[in-house]
Structure 1
């Protein structure tokens, strides 16, 4: 694993999956910005098993951009795993994680670095102050999700802060030392409790290509976030069981009194409704328990969540390499 380089100020980690269309636009905006910051930097492009022309385009760009470094994963491992692979290999004193789609403008990076240096904070979150480019459904669901996570997980994470952030070397080392599987970094980093600040910006539309986070992946990310940071669902299942027991006791008392008073009438509707309700409660509780058991099972297996096939820092050509267990995906 590459060691930190003292005179390397900034590492910019960019996970990529089939970003051939947007990659030239990203380079046109990011390279002049990084070159003009007056600080030594590297750009760690993590190719998350792309199947389009992204790998070829990255190799072409590396020939004329010395600061560009390519870390290629053997297979698509997910957005969060790709970021984690970049964090494991970033060498800078500060590390920025940035998506390739240009929805989060790279022009905010100098403000993040300046704030971290002047205020002495370990984390600077990019906060989406203007999300008018997102749909009303996405804005509303994101707002509810962050509020729920702050309440359930007791995590003081800034609202509308995604995976665009700057971290100090101490923060990156702390994240890399965690044994979590299926980690969601937008909640892992705030949970560390390191001193932090925020920089606001207007979220832009995707510059090119298609989104890599459809609804199904967003739901999976939400489940990983809740089960990874809160025991509230387990307590919810417990309360459901208690309420179900109380309801069953009430039905039993009703049946006894009806029998004593001679008001027992043949019928199946009430029985079917009660059985169905109790079955639904039990299945929901089992599903919640299953999510937690599944996380423990994955942790016990200790399987790596990504494999690095090639790091351009190590050799000029592709070389297979196995890495130790790292975090899994997910925004």
Structure 2
């Protein structure tokens, strides 16, 4: 099963070398057939030049430039329209996500034939390093609201780092979110539409270089819009968008 890793990158010239080299080395060590797909989201620094140089040493690296419209959601969606693998993970350019966790996701998907694998930083075995206190408070409140309104037990919906089968990605289209609200649109649609998923613990480490692109003040209403959309689909779509399950035909015994 070929793994694609979609990485949105806006002004990440400092972070990308460590992230991509470590990711490639880890996946290669485990013998995982893969491609690393980076979307340069019309960066203003030397991100494109860094990608050009890294492509000479990382044979599985492919990169695109999204000239516009731009934004985190648009950059991820750009990659999700172009990956070639059987499954795809969204992974951060700043190395906040651990490649070893991605291997766990991939192995879990294979073991249970799940349609998606989600991580949780807040359950047993999960870990966060240097997580800003204010951001943590907002994160936990937001995830609590999502859990209550959607009636789910999963407690880390807002983290983008998740793995989906190709069929799952196709089944949760079309995408609506242009910004960070895509992080909740993908898993909530997968859950509402009946795709199977497993949850495994994962870690998160604050970035070493640059600054976070998430502007919390700008995102509240956008997250709420997507949450409301998924809530409406769950209770009023009458299953029109749910995963189609093909019935298994039972063999007929001779003489019947």
CA distance in 2, matches of 1:33, 1:46: 21
Q: 2:247 is matched with which residue?
A: none
Cα separation, 2, equivalents of 1:220 and 1:55 = 32
CA contact (8 A) 1:25 1:207 kept: no
Q: 1:208 to 1:196 in 2, by over 3 A?
A: same
Match of 1:136 among 133, 142, 146: 133
**CA shift digits 1:106-133 (9 cap, x unpaired):** 2211111111111111111121132352
Which consecutive residues of structure 1, in runs of 5 or more, have no partner in the other structure?
1-7, 232-331
Decide which of 36, 40, 44 is 2:33's aligned counterpart: 40
User: Is the contact between residue 38 and residue 63 of structure 2 (CA under 8 Å) also seen in structure 1?
Assistant: yes
Against the structure 1 CA distance between its residues 211 and 195, is the aligned structure 2 distance closer, same or farther, given a 3 Å change threshold?
A: same
Q: Does 1:159 align with 2:152?
A: no
Write the distance in 2 (CA, Å) between the matches of 1:100 and 1:157.
28
Q: Distance in 1 between matches of 2:190 and 2:143?
A: 14
Match of 2:212 in 1: 211
* Residue 103 (1) aligns with residue 96 (2): yes
Q: Partner residue of 1:30?
A: 23
SS at match of 2:4: strand
TM-score under structure 2 normalisation? 0.79
SS in 2 for 1:226: helix
- Candidates 86, 95, 107, aligned match of 1:114: 107
The gaps in structure 2 that reach 5 residues or longer are 233-256
| Cα deviation code 1:48-88 (max 9, x no counterpart) | 11110001110111122221111110135211221111111
Q: Give the superposition deviation at 1:32.
A: 0.5
How do 1:158-307 residues align onto structure 2 when only pairs under 5 Å count?
158-161=154-157, 162-175=159-172, 177-178=173-174, 180=176, 182=178, 183=182, 184-230=185-231
1:93 to 76, 81, 86: 86
1:285-321 CA-partner distances (Å, limit 9, x unpaired): xxxxxxxxxxxxxxxxxxxxxxxxxxxxxxxxxxxxx
Q: CA–CA distance in 2 between the matches of 1:114 and 1:86?
A: 22
Change (3 A) 1:25 1:179: closer
CA contact (8 A) 2:39 2:64 kept: yes
Aligned to 2:13: 20
Contact 2:147 2:155 in 1 (8 A): no
Task: Give me the whole-angstrom Cα distance separating, in 1, the residues matched to 2:86 and 2:73.
Answer: 21
Q: Which of these two proteins has the greater Rg computed from alpha carbons?
A: 1
- Alpha-carbon spacing, 1:211–1:34, altered in 2? closer, same or farther (3 Å): same
8 Å contact kept, 2:10–2:42:
yes
Query: Does structure 1 residue 55 correspond to structure 2 residue 48?
Result: yes
Residue 145 of structure 1 corresponds to 142
Q: Which residue of 1 aligns with 2:117?
A: 124
Structure 2 distance, partners of 1:50, 1:120, is: 37
- Give 4+ residue runs of structure 1 displaced > 6 Å after superposition: none
Aligned length: 222
CA offsets 1:116-165 (integer angstroms, 9 cap, x no match): 1111111111211323522232222212212212333x253621241101
2: CA distance between counterparts of 1:155 and 1:62? 44
> Whose helix proportion is higher, 1 or 2?
1
